[in-house]
Structure 1
């Protein structure tokens, strides 16, 4: 398990600074498979054998999101689930986003 996955998301406010580009790059290297989109959010698509497995995964992600108080956007369909995450309070990336990404990866879901 990544050391990021063992951390806990901390509440952010509008005053929380967004991560600088070099911070984003360093953290992104610790969650391989996640794409940094326009320096604003993270995205990853997971593949599954069927809809049921994708839905089960999305529900497990939802459980983590509730525990952490940090909620991603989820899209799913037959054989896939896609996750987009950013810190809404700052409309950009914070360390919480990378913590959540690592926790999702720790679920051991389908292939990216």
Structure 2
């Protein structure tokens, strides 16, 4: 089982643009066009599948919100920080 990180560990390692909200990490990405957001969401989904770590991805008109948590650990782990950083790379 993966260990849940402390608030201090999360804050020290939180990727740019992300926030710690309870037991998950959250970031909203803005796009000029709806389909740009869809392309981004698909790229995140592919990376998530490769990582075997699946976030919640919400697609709105020009915004995509990504939420990640490690369900089996009931909180944020290194896996979530890694996925958040990868999402930023895809953006």
TM range (shorter): over 0.9
Max Rg structure? 1
Superposition map of 1:1-112 within 5 A: 13=1, 16-28=2-14, 31-38=15-22, 40-107=23-90, 109=91
In the superposition, the TM-score normalised over structure 2's length comes to 0.94
RMSD: 0.9
Secondary structure, counterpart of 1:89 in structure 2:
helix
Structure 2 distance, partners of 1:65, 1:17, is 19
Report deviation, 1:27. 1.2
The runs of 5 or more residues in structure 2 that have no matched partner are none
The TM-score normalised by the length of structure 1 is 0.77
Segments ≥4 residues shifted beyond 2 Å = none
Instruction: Tell me which protein shows more helix as a share of its residues.
Output: 2
**What's the secondary structure of 2:73's corresponding residue?**
coil
Deviation, 1:91, is: 1.4
Number of equivalenced pairs = 91
1:21 and 1:47 mapped to 2: Cα distance?
A: 27
